[in-house]
Amino acid sequence: MSSTRLTKRTVEAVSLSNKDIILRDSEIKGFLCKVTPKGRRVYMLNYRTKDGQERRPSIGVHGEITCDQARGIAQDWKALIAKGGDPSADKRSSRQSPTIAELCDRYMHEYAAGRKKASSLRNDDQMIRRFILPAIGARKVSSITTDDINRIHNQLRPTPYQANRVLALLSKMFSLAEAWNVIAQGSNPTKYVEKFPEEKRERYLNTEELERLGAMLNEAEADGSEQPEVIAAIKLLLMTGCRLGEVLNLRWDEVMWEQGLLRLPETKTGSQFRPVGKAVLSYLESLPWKDELEHVIPGRDKTKPLVNLSKPWGRIRDRAGLSDVRIHDLRHTHASAAAGSGLSLPIIGRLLGHTQASTTQRYAHLANDPVSEAADNVSNRISSILDGSTGRIRRGRAEPAN
């Protein structure tokens, strides 16, 4: 059949027949439009692969894409073929590519389930269900672009911490998709998406606030407005500096009474032995359910631990006038008390179960307070000596003035 330049007019002008009609473009070799007896007009590209196999993949249906759009795709494919590519194989691979929903499921079952703690698994599952699946769950993994990831990330801009956690999860899943040969190496669409700045929030209770909180805890315990297990959990968070999950999941057989340690089989940084003070052990000893239950902080079902402290903590902190204090700030308060006592950063890190010195470094400005006080005392002493009011310095020590 003779060829002509394919345009909207030439494609629509052809009369239907009882068999397929092939219209070939006069400008781009292999670019054609197949017109079926039912009037369906499909743009295609006929070519041979580098090993000589003939291919004729469809570009799109007339009406769904324009002739000019099909021509542009045909030109792009021709350039790919010239480099040894195979658009037909790429299309077939794309059709076989799993969806994002399927990638999420594989991530949770094949990767995360054997490597992450239960709390981390819950967080991942929540982010997947709330933010990832509604946005791109039905899409093919191979079709996701950097723009798609940016769109999800930017929608969460008002909560930068949450936005960055979702971005990190997507980044990990696409890295695994590369390792599993689901997408090409180096094609992770999260690569060029920048995280939002996160404001490091350091909130800890001062002495007066601690006194208010203590009074409110005692009041809530006396009037029965809160469960005694809730009161105990909050006091232990303050006295031990442990993370919430470490306190809520603590079992009585993990309290090492003689050694003054808590054996924590599952922490953010692995299993640990966490030192605690005598006041903690004494408080634990005073809890009335000590010899009756398995968990130090039992829930309403006494055979299981307390699961969540958010609602009771919200009530207690509001009653104490501490509405801006998060549960995790109780851990910061423990650290600030340690720093204010003049303890070194390595010791504070050991108390908190940090494995990296950089994690403890956030408390450096607090740990410097005793040093500043010492510098104050020394400078005042030397100033007084120089003024002749208290004594003089001789051979490295101060002596009384005559």
- Does residue 323 fall inside a structural domain? yes
Q: Show the domain range for 133.
A: 100-179
Bridge partners of 42, per DSSP, are 34, 61
Cβ pair 138, 98 in contact under 8 A:
no
- Does residue 196 fall inside a structural domain? no
- Does residue 399 fall inside a structural domain? no
Helices and strands in the chain: count of H runs, count of E runs: 17, 12
**pLDDT tens digits, one per residue of 317-361:** 999 899 888 888 888 887 777 666 666 656 666 666 666 655 556
pLDDT band for position 184 (cuts 50, 70, 90): confident
71 and 25 in one domain? yes
pLDDT over 70, % of the chain: 81
Mean pLDDT along residues 28-57? 93
104 and 71 in one domain? no
pLDDT at 342: 63
Burial of 135 (0-12, 13-18, 19+ CB in 10 A): middle
3-state percent helix, strand, coil for the chain, nearest multiple of 5: 50, 15, 35
Mean pLDDT highest for which of 53-67, 195-209, 267-281?
A: 53-67
**pLDDT tens digits, one per residue of 73-92:** 999 999 989 988 888 877 76
294 and 149 in one domain? no
What pTM was computed for the model? Answer: 0.52
Residue 386: pLDDT above 80?
A: no
143 and 229 in one domain? no
CA 9 to each of CA 5, 6, 67: distance values in angstroms, whole numbers, following the listed order: 10, 8, 10
Residue 383: pLDDT above 60?
A: no
Residue 399: pLDDT above 50?
A: no
- Does residue 235 fall inside a structural domain? yes
92 and 105 in one domain? no
Cα 172 to chain center, whole Å?
10
CATH number for 132: 1.10.150
pLDDT over 90, % of the chain: 46
What gap in Å lies between CA 219 and CA 373, rounded to an integer? 36
352 and 256 in one domain? yes
235 and 341 in one domain? yes
pLDDT at 291: 86
Q: Which residue did the predictor score with more confidence, 2 or 22?
A: 22
Number of domains in the chain: 3
88 and 122 in one domain? no
> 3-class DSSP state for residue 194?
coil
